[in-house]
Chains A and B, each alone.
Chain A
Amino acid sequence: MVHLERLAPPDSNLRPDIDLVSELGLDSVKVMDLMLDAEDEFNISVPLNVLADIRTPNQLAQAINKLLESR
């Protein structure tokens, strides 16, 4: 969420189920860049092919949890 605040337009209402692309207007490159930060924070690598299915911050958190558990 912290990383998202930096990328989202000012005064957007960030919700866990907001659609990063269609609601928040982030382009695919911004979403990929968001991932670089999240990967460093959790010391994991989220492959782009996994990222393709992710639309909301909630789904992102779930994907990260899954990767952390599978370690």
Chain B
Amino acid sequence: MMSLFDKFQSLSDARHALIQTEPSPIGTRIDEILSSTEGRVDGRSVILAGTNNYLGLTFDRDCIAAAHDALDREGTGTTGSRMANGSYASHTRLEEELAHFFARPSAVVFSTGYVANLGLIGTLAGTDDVIVLDADCHASIYDACRLTGADIIRFRHNDASDLEKRLRRLGERTTNALIVVEGIYSMLGDQAPLREIAAVKRRHGGYLLVDEAHSLGVLGAHGRGLAEAEGVEADVDFVVGTFSKSLGAIGGFATSHHPQLDMIRYASRPYIFTASSSPATIASVRTALQIVDSRGELRQRLWANAERLYHGLSRLGFELGPEPGPVVATLLGSPQQGVAFWHGLLDHGVYVNLVLPPATPGGRALLRISVSAAHDTTQIDQIIAAFAALKPMLDHHEQE
């Protein structure tokens, strides 16, 4: 009989074939964090360009001061779930502030973005329902779908006409269908064609959920995300997001214009059966949310950096994701090439994320760079220079 652990052997073998030495591109140990854009890995100082810290708020003075204050006043943790003893006044205030920020009647705070997707999607849809999701959606959305027992149907990535075709096939069932897309996709950094998707929803019915994990604070005049930027917020029934990227902390939320959203608190197991975020986390997120609203110049700086990096790498001839954004993906040939290139970048003082199939769309290896408003132009240029210096590695490979 197989042991419980046998099924991990092939994963372990695959990893070992690719990576035998430290530092490892998978689960890299960052020895020291020096600022929102600098750290130490394996004895080297590196520019952090793989941390989703889009607005650079992890070291914002006001966010840190708010967290310190809450830590002193309310202690290290809530030691309980939102349903029991883990709803402090600050959790409720944050929900009110999120609702106000999104101009929707209510918002629910969860312990992480992953849990927010499980808690909302996993509770909304039931066995007789149907979820139609973009094929490139994040694992948390796929996992949430599995919790529902609903029929799960994928449509081709960013293809509104494919979505329409699949909705048409569903006939009457579309009335209750939950359509799920993301604002900015986490791997290639491309944006959903949300105006077209909203139009499809208007024609066929159903509910539209947008995960703005990578677009909150990044897109829209107020930073509310892609729905705001595209002017289709009225068509978006549910917004899910995370505190772990532009807001620089950890946690997640859902908001909706349906007043019934509040009722999921009584049914959502991922809301009920896990402890709530610590008071310090909630305090820093509340401050970060105010900053998103009040300091639009951070968004401008982020986008200037994103454009500079994207066009710099594009001029060098790298194959990139389809459009500039806070995530700039460089597509590589093979996982082996990815590992070698990642090490090369580290030697040049640049830390990025290596992402390997099957976590990548199209089965390609990619280097995922995340840009921050806190990067200065010199750092962006250093990243470009490191890629330029290593480019011959790829060209050599192509000739083989």
Residues of A whose CB lies within 8 Å of any CB of B are 27-30, 32-33, 35-36, 39-40, 43-45, 47-49
Contact = CB atoms under 8 A, between A and B. Distances in A.
A35 to B, nearest CB: 8
Interface residues of B, number: 18
A14 B123 CA distance: 41
B144 to A, nearest CB: 12
Given A29-B363, A43-B169, A48 B152 contact: yes
Contact of A49 (B149, B156, B170, B363): B149
**Chain B, interface SS category:** mixed
B156 A36 contact: yes
A48 B153 CA distance: 6
A20 to B, nearest CB: 14
Interface string B7-19: 0000000000000
A36 B153 contact: no
Interface string B152-177: 11101000000001100110000000
A27 B357 contact: yes
17 contacts: A27-B357, A30-B363, A33-B135, A36-B154, A43-B169, A44-B169, A45-B151, A47-B151, A47-B152, A48-B145, A48-B152, A48-B153, A48-B154, A49-B146, A49-B149, A49-B150, A49-B152
Contact of B358 (A29, A36, A43, A49): A29
B55 to A, nearest CB: 32
Nearest to B153: A45
Nearest to B173: A45
Nearest to B127: A49
Contacts of A27: 357-358, 363
Nearest to A33: B135
A56 to B, nearest CB: 19
Given A29-B358, A29-B363, A30-B363, A47 B135 contact: no
A26 B259 CA distance: 44
Nearest to A28: B358
